[in-house]
A and B are shown apart, each in its own frame.
Chain A
Amino acid sequence: MNMNPFVCIPLLPFISFLLLGLFGRQLKPLAGIIATLLMAVSTALSLSVAYTYFFVSGKVEGIYQTLVPLQYKWLEFSPSLSIDMGILIDPISVMMLIVVTVVSLMVHLYSISYMKGEDRYASFFSYLGLFTFSMLALVLSSNIFQIYIFWELVGISSFLLIGFYYDRPSAVKASRKAFLVTRFADLGFLIGILILAFEAHTLDFRVLIERLTHPESEFLIHASTTTFLGASALTWGLVLVFMGGVGKSAMFPMHIWLPDAMEGPTPVSALIHAATMVVAGVYLVARLFPVFAISCPAALDLVMVIGVLSAILAALIACTQTDIKRVLAYSTMSQIGYMMFSLGVARWGMDSQNGFTASMFHLFTHAFFKALLFLAAGVIIHHVHSNEIKAMGGLRKLLPITHITFLVACLAIAGIPPLSGFFSKEEILLATYHFNVSVFLLALLTSGITAFYMFRLYFHIFWYSPTQQVSSKATHHEAEFVMLLALILLAGGAALSGFIPFSRFVSANGIPFNTSLHYDFSILPVASALTGTGFAFYLYKAKNLRPDRIAERIKHLYTLSYHKFYIDEFYTMVNHSIHRLIAYPSAWIDRQVVDGSVNMSGKAAKTASEGIREMQSGQVHQYVFWFIAGILILAVVVMYGMG
C-alpha cells in the first residue's frame, strides 16, 4: 500500500500543534478553524485508507494482511535491538485510525464554539493537535518501543489538557495525579518491554510476535523456561506490559486518576478520557494478543479478572455519584472493563476468538456513544453552570436536541436494541458465556447496573423537577450550531455503528468470519438492561422519596459506593508511608550523615590545625596545599613501598 496517506494522517494534527503552539497569539481567532480543517483532511484520509484496506487491497487470499509500508531506524541500541519508527497496518490499527480521527474531528468541531472566549484558545487546539498526533502514531506503531514513546506523549498531552485551567488548584492536582499514576504503571510497561526485548532479541512487533508464538522457536522455549519467583520470563514480561495498560485504561486498581481527570475541559474528557487514550490499554493487549493467547493464556486470565472487577466496581460506584462527569468517568471505566475481560475470555483459534472481535467492536461503538455523552454533558454544564446533577432537572424542553442525542447515547450504552451498544455488548456476553459462566453472570449484572445509573442520570437531568435556581440562571437555550452538529453526527454513529458486520473485518488472526445474532441469547441481556432502566424510571422520573429510602435501607453498600470503596484513601495512606519511610530518611541522611561527615571532617581538620599553629593561616589555598602534599607523600610511599 502507498505509505503517503499513512504518514499524512498523524502529521496533519502535528502541523496543527506546531502552528498553533508557535504562532498561537497571531492566529488566535482562527485557531479553531485551522485545527478543525487540518483534522478534517486527516479524517478524510483515514476513511479513504480504511476503505482501500478493507474493501480493495487489504485482503489477500481471504486473510487481512499485516503491512509495514514504512520503517525508519530512529535509535539503534545494538544491531538486533533498535527503535524503528514505522507504520503498521492491520485491521485493528486501521479501525483505530477511524475511531481516533472521527472522534477527534467531532471534538475539534465542538470546541470551536465550546472554548470560545478562553484566554488560551489557541493553546487548547495546539494541545489537541499534539494529543491526536501522538494517539495516531501510537496506534500505527510497528515497534514496541515506538508504542511506549507515543504512550508517554499521549500521557503528557493528557496532563497538559487536564491542567488546562491552570489557575484552579484542583485541576493542577488532578493533572499531576493522572500523570503520576500512569507513570507508575508505565514503569511496569518499560520493564516488561526490557524483558520481552531481551527474550525475543527484537523490538519489532511482527518479529517479536512471530518469535514468541512459533512453537519451535528457541526464543519462546527460553522465555518460557526461564523462571523468576515461580513465573516464566514471558509471563512476567506480558503481565508487566499489561500493567502499563491497566494504568492507561484506568482499570482497577489504578483507576483513581480517571474521575479526577474530569477537571479538564469537557471536550477533552470526551476525546481523551472516554473515547481514545483510555482504550490504549485494550489496544496494547490486542496488539500482543497472539503472544498472550498462544504462549501464555494464564496472563489472559489476569486480563479477564482485572477487566471484570473494574467493570462491576465502577458500575457500583457510578450509581451514587452526583457529578455528571464523574458518573460518566466511572461508566467509561466500566465499559473498558468490558473490553478487557472480553479480550481475556478469547483464546487462539477459529472458534474461541470471538471475544477479541467483540472487544474491538465494543471499543468502536463505545467511542461514539461515550464521546457523545460527554459532549452533551458539556452543553448541559454550560447551560446550568454546574456539574452537579442536583442543579439540573427538567431540561428536556430547554435543550431538545441535546436531550434526544443524550437519550440515544443512553440507550446505546445500556444495550437496548437496535442501538450500537446492544450488538457489541451482546457479542461480548456471548463470548463470555461460552468461556466462563460466573464471569458471564457478573457481566450481566453489570449490564443491568449500567442501564440503571445511565438512566438515573438521564431522568435526573431531563425530567425530574427543575429547581428554581436553574431556570433563572439559564440565559440561553440550545447550544450553537457546530456543537449540535457534532452531537448529531455522533448520535448517528452511536445509533447505527452496531449494524457493521464487524467480524468480517476484524479478527485475531486476520481471517474474517461470520456471526449472527442469537435472538434467544439476547433475551437475557435485554431483560437485564430493561430492568435497570425501569428501576431508574421508578426512582428518578419525578421527585420522590424512594431513592432516599432505598439508600437508607442499604446504608453500608451505599456509603461504600459513595466513597468509591475508599480506594483513594488507601492510596493516600500508601503515599504518606512512602514519604515517611523513604523520602524523610533520605533527606535526613543527606543532612546529618553525608553532609555532617563532610562538615565534621572540616571541623576536625580545623581542630587538628589548632595544634600546629604555624601551619594555620586561615587561608584555604594553604589547606589545599597541605592536603595535596600529604596525598603525594602517601602516593610515593605506596608506589615505592609496594613496587
Chain B
Amino acid sequence: MNLLLLLLLPSVAILLTLFVKNNTQAKWVSLLFSAAQLVFSLMLLFAFQTERASGNISMMLFEQQLNWFQSAGITFHIGIDGISVAMIILTALVVTAGVLVSWNIGYMTQEFLILLQLLGAGAYGFFISVDLFLIFFFLEVAVIPKYLLIGIWGSGKKEYSANKLAIMLMGASALILVGILGMYFHSGLKAFDLIRISQIKLPVETQIMFFPFLFIGFGVFTAIFPFYSWVPDGHSSAPTAGSMFLAGISMKLGGYGCLRVATYLMPEAASVYAPYIIALATIGIIYGAFATVMQTDLKYINAYSSVSHCGFVLLGIGMLTKTAITGAVMQMVSHGLMTALFFAVIGMIYERTHTRVVRQMGGLIKSMPFICTMLFLAGFTSLGLPGLSGFVAEMTIFMGSWQNPGAFYRISTIVACASIVVTAVYILRAMGRVAMGPLPAALSDEKHKSSLKDATWNERIAAIMLAAGIIVVGTAPFWLNNLVSPDAAIIFEQLISGN
C-alpha cells in the first residue's frame, strides 16, 4: 500500500475542482474523491491487518522515507500503525460525510470544497507522518483553512470566532514548535525523525523542560482546561462541515500528538507530569459537563460537551496504563464519529427550523423522524449507552484508570465517572426539548410547516455512514481494541523502559 495515495487523492480532487465548469461537477468530484479515500482507508485497514497477521511486528508499517531537506535533518518519513489506521478511517468518514452535508452550501461552493479537501489532506498527512517536522507541517495545513471556513461560510459572530480560533491554535502551534526544536537540538541527532529520537534516552531535565511545551501545545487542540475557549465559539460559528471536521478531526490531532509525540518521546517527563495532566483532564471533564448544562444553543451544547468528552482522552493518556491509553484512542475514534454526527444533525435541524436555540423547538420527531432518530443516536452515544461507541471507550478508560492505586487516581476516576450522570442531564434535556413535546407555535405556521421535511438522500447517507461507525465500534469493540491495543502497548512499554 502506498501511503502517498492518501495525500494524492485530496490533491487531485483539489486540482480537478479548480477546473470544473460548475458547482454540480465540483460537488461530484469532491464526493467521488472522498469516497475513494474512504475505500482506500478501508483497504489500508485490511492490508494492515493482513500484514500484522503475517507476523510483521515492526512499529510502523508501509514505511517510506524520502529525503527532503537533507541538510536540516528533515526527511519525508511516513508510515502507519494501528492507531493511525483508526484515525485515517475516521478522517475519511468525516470528510465524506462533510462533503455530503454541504451539498446545498450555495455560496462559493468550489472554494468551500477545496478547503475541505485541503483540511482532509492535512489530517491524513499528520496521521501518517513519522517525522516531527512533517507532523508540524501537516498540523498547520489542517489549521489555516479553518480560519477561512469560519470567516467566510460561518454564522453568528464569525469574525470574532475565526480570529479567536486561529490565534489560539497558532499559539499552540508555536508551543509545539518550541518543543519540536527542543527535541531536535537536545537529542543530539540533528534530526526530526520520531523513531530515531525515541530510541535514544533524553536526559530527564530536558524532558521536564520540553514536555509541557509539546503536551500543552497539542493539548490546546484537544481542549485541555483552561485553553478550551476556542472550541465553543469556533464550533458554533463554523458551517456544518467545518464543525464536523473541527470537532471530529482537529481535536483528535491534539490527542494523537499528545500521545505519539509528547508521551512517546518523553516517557519520564510524562510520569512526572501525569498528576497535573490528570487534574486538568478531570477538571475539564466535570466542568465541561456542568458548563454544558447551562447552554441553550444546540451547537454550544455539543461544543462544551466536546470539552468534557475530550477530557477523557487526556485522562486516559495521563493515567499511563496500557488499558487507559487504548481507551483514550478508542475515545478519540468514538468522539470523532459521534460529534460529527451530532453536528451534521444540528446542521440539518438548523436548515429547517432556522434556529438552534433548544427552547424554540419541540416535537420535531413527528415531521422529521429520521433526523431525530439520528439525534437520539448521537445523544445516546454521548451519554454512554452500551452498544454504541462512547460506552466502550469510556469504560476502557475507567477500567484502565482504576488500575492505578492511590487516592488521587481513584478520586479523579470517580469524578470522571460522575460526569456520565451530568451528561445524561444535558443530553436528555436537549433531546427532550427538540424532538419530543408539542410543536411550538413559531414552527407550526404554514410557512415553517412546509420546510420541516425529513432528511434528503445526501443527508441520509452522511448520517448513516457515521451511525454505522458508531454502532460497529459499539457492538464489536474487540475489533477496534485489537487494532489499537498492540500499538498502545508499544507506547506503554516505552513508558515502562523510560522509568
| Chain A residues packing against B (C-beta within 8 Å) | 73-78, 81, 145, 148-150, 152-153, 156, 159, 163, 166-167, 169, 172-173, 175-176, 179-180, 183-184, 187, 190-191, 194-195, 197-198, 579, 582-584, 586-587, 589-590, 594-595, 598, 602, 620, 623-624, 627-628, 631-632, 634-635, 638-639, 642-643
* B276, CB-defined interface residue at 8 Å: no
Set of chain B residues within 8 Å of A156, measured between Cβ atoms:
380, 385
B429 within 8 A of A: yes
- Specify the chain A residue showing the minimal Cβ separation from B400: A77
**Are A598 and B185 in contact, with the CB atoms below 8 A?**
no
Q: Number of contacting residues on B, CB 8 A? A: 66
- A75 contacts B168, CB within 8 Å? no
The stretch from B10-18, B344-352, B411-419 touching chain A is B411-419
In the complex, what residues of B have CB within 8 A of residue A73's CB?
Answer: 478
By Cβ-Cβ distance, the 10 closest A-B pairs, closest first, are: A587-B294, A166-B436, A586-B290, A631-B174, A149-B386, A635-B178, A77-B399, A194-B402, A75-B477, A586-B291
Q: Shortest distance in angstroms between A438's beta carbon and chain B's nearest beta carbon?
A: 36
Q: Is B34 an interface residue (CB 8 A)?
A: no
Chain B residue at minimal CB-CB distance from A623? B167
Q: Across the interface, do A75 and B402 meet the contact criterion of CB distance under 8 Å?
A: no
Chain B residue contacts of A183, Cβ below 8 A: 420-421, 424
| Among candidates A187, A194, A590, A631, residue contacting B291 with C-beta atoms closer than 8 Å | A590
Extra contacts besides A74-B477, A627-B170, A632-B174 (15): CB < 8 Å: A75-B392, A78-B403, A152-B385, A167-B366, A180-B421, A187-B418, A190-B398, A194-B402, A579-B293, A586-B287, A587-B294, A598-B229, A620-B167, A631-B177, A632-B178
Q: Tell me the complex Cα distance, A587–B304, Å.
A: 10
A442 to chain B, nearest CB (A): 33
Interface contact A635-B385, CB-CB below 8 Å = no
The answer to whether A598 touches B386 (Cβ under 8 A) is no
Closest chain A residue, CB of each to CB of B419 = A187
| Distance of A150 Cα from B147 Cα, bound (Å) | 44
Whether B437 lies near A187 (C-beta < 8 A) is: no
- A160 to chain B: closest residue by CB: B376
A627 engages B438 (CB within 8 Å): no
A77 CA / B324 CA spacing, docked (Å)? 9
- Is B322 in contact with A78, judged by CB distance below 8 angstroms? yes
Interface string of B471-497 (1 = CB under 8 A from A): 000000110010001000000000000
Tell me whether A198 and B402 are in contact (CB under 8 A). Answer: yes
Distance in angstroms between the alpha carbons of A169 and B439 in the assembled complex: 11
B436 touching A583, Cβ below 8 Å = no
* B241 beta carbon closer than 8 Å to chain A: no
Pair A77/B396 contact, Cβ less than 8 Å: yes
Distance in angstroms between the alpha carbons of A353 and B171 in the assembled complex: 67
A598 with B164: CB separation less than 8 A: yes
Residues of A within 8 A of B413 (CB): 194
Closest to A635 in B: B178
Q: Is B166 engaged at the interface, CB distance under 8 Å to the other chain?
A: yes
Q: List 7 A-B contacts (CB under 8 A).
A: A175-B432, A190-B420, A579-B293, A584-B294, A602-B163, A620-B163, A643-B185
Chain B interface, >50% SS class:
helix
Contacts of A620 in B (CB 8 A): 147, 163, 166-167
Question: In the bound complex, what is the Cα–Cα distance between A74 and B403 (angstroms)?
Answer: 20
A residues less than 8 Å from B166 (CB atoms): 620, 624
A74 with B417: CB separation less than 8 A: no
Q: Say yes or no: B438 contacts A153, CB within 8 Å.
A: no
By the criterion CB–CB under 8 Å, are B481 and A76 in contact? yes
Chain A interface SS verdict (over half): helix
Does B435 have its Cβ within 8 Å of any Cβ on chain A? yes
B289, closest chain A residue (CB): A586
Q: From B226, which residue of chain A is reached at the shortest CB distance?
A: A594
- Docked Cα-Cα span, A198 to B402, in Å, equals 7
Contact residue among B185, B363, B399 (Cβ-Cβ distance under 8 Å from A166): B363
Residues in A with CB closer than 8 Å to B290 are: 582-583, 586-587
A596 vs chain B, min Cβ distance (A):
9
Q: Does B425 contact A (CB under 8 A)?
A: yes
* Assembled-state Cα–Cα distance A81/B396 (Å): 11
Closest to B384 in A: A152
Interface residues in B379-427 (C-beta closer than 8 Å to A): 380, 384-387, 391-392, 395-396, 398-400, 402-403, 413-414, 417-418, 420-421, 424-425
Q: Is the CB of B170 within 8 A of A624?
A: yes
Whole-angstrom distance between the Cβ of B410 and the nearest chain A Cβ = 9
Residues of B within 8 A of A159 (CB): 428
B279 within 8 A of partner (CB)? no
Determine if B36 is an interface residue (Cβ-Cβ < 8 Å): no
Contact B399 A81 (CB under 8 A): yes
Given the contacts A78-B322, A639-B181, A163 and B396 also touching, CB distance less than 8 Å: no
Report A-chain residues with C-beta under 8 Å of the C-beta of B363: 166-167
> For the complex, what is the distance from the CA of A353 to the CA of B52, rounded to whole Å?
54
Q: Which residues of A contact B182 (CB under 8 A)?
A: 635, 639
A187 touching B478 by the CB < 8 A rule?
Answer: no
Determine which of B163, B365, B386, B417 lies in contact with A187 in the assembled complex, contact meaning CB atoms within 8 Å.
Answer: B417
Q: Given contacts A77-B400, A150-B386, A583-B294, are A631 and B417 in contact (CB under 8 A)?
A: no
Contact A167 B421 (CB under 8 A): no
Nearest neighbor of A628 in chain B, beta-carbon distance: B174
Q: In the complex the two chains form, is A172's CB within 8 Å of B174's CB?
A: no
The answer to whether A176 touches B174 (Cβ under 8 A) is no
Residues of A within 8 A of B190 (CB): none
Tell me, rounded to whole Å, the shortest Cβ–Cβ distance linking B493 to chain A.
14
Residues on A with C-beta less than 8 A from B402 are: 194-195, 197-198
CB of B385, distance to nearest CB on chain A (Å)? 6
Taking the closest CB of chain A, its distance from the CB of B307, in whole angstroms, is: 9
Are A627 and B435 within 8 A (Cβ)? no
- B228 sits at the interface (CB 8 A): yes
Residue of B nearest to A625 (CB): B170
- Complex Cα–Cα for A151 and B189 (A): 55
Minimum C-beta distance from B313 to chain A (A):
17
Q: Is B186 an interface residue (CB 8 A)?
A: yes
Q: Which residues of B contact A642 (CB under 8 A)?
A: 209
Provide the residues of chain B in CB contact with A624, threshold 8 Å: 166-167, 170
Residues of B within 8 A of A639 (CB): 181-182, 185-186
B386 touching A152, Cβ below 8 Å:
yes
Pair B478/A180 contact, Cβ less than 8 Å: no
Q: Which of B171, B173, B185, B437 contacts A167 (CB 8 A)?
A: B437
User: Which residues of chain A are near B420, meaning CB under 8 Å?
Assistant: 183, 187, 190
Q: From residue A503, how far is it (CB to closest CB) to chain B in Å?
A: 36
Question: What residues of chain A lie closer than 8 Å to B399, measured between beta carbons?
Answer: 77-78, 81, 194, 197
Contact check, A75 vs B478: say whether CB atoms are below 8 A apart: yes
Question: Is B323 among interface residues, defined by CB-CB distance under 8 A?
Answer: yes
Q: How far is A638 from B175 in the complex, measured between Cα atoms in Å?
A: 13
Contact A194 B398 (CB under 8 A): yes
Q: How far is the CB of B395 from chain A (nearest CB, A)?
A: 7
Q: What is the CA–CA distance of A587 and B481 in the complex, to the nearest angstrom?
A: 36
Please give me the residue from chain A that is nearest to B477 by CB atom. A75
Chain B residues whose C-beta falls within 8 Å of the C-beta of A602 in the assembled complex = 163-164, 167
Report yes or no: B174 in contact with A627, Cβ–Cβ below 8 A: yes
Among residues 343 to 382 in chain B, which have CB atoms less than 8 Å away from a CB atom of chain A? 363, 365-366, 380
Given A198-B403, A583-B293, A595-B229, A153 contacting B387 (CB threshold 8 A): yes
Residues of B within 8 A of A173 (CB): 432
Q: B421 to A187, Cβ gap below 8 A?
A: yes
- The interface residues of chain A lying within 8 Å CB-to-CB of B147 are 620
Interface centre among B295, B304, B395, B414 (most CB of A within 10 A): B395
Which chain B residues lie closer than 8 Å to A172 at the CB level? 432, 436-437
* A587, B291: Cβ atoms closer than 8 Å: yes
B178 adjacent to A169 (CB under 8 Å): no
- Closest Cβ of chain B to A429, distance in Å, is 38
In whole angstroms, what is the CA distance A79 to B330 when docked? 18
Q: Which residues on the A side are within 8 Å of B425 (C-beta)?
A: 180
Across the two chains, which residue of chain A brings its CB closest to B392? A75
A175 vs B428: C-alpha distance when bound (angstroms)? 9
Q: Of residues 300 to 317 in B, which have CB atoms within 8 Å of A's CB atoms? A: 304
Chain B residues contacting A150 (CB-CB under 8 Å) are 386
Interface pair B417/A191, CB less than 8 Å apart: yes
A184 to B422, CA, bound (A): 9
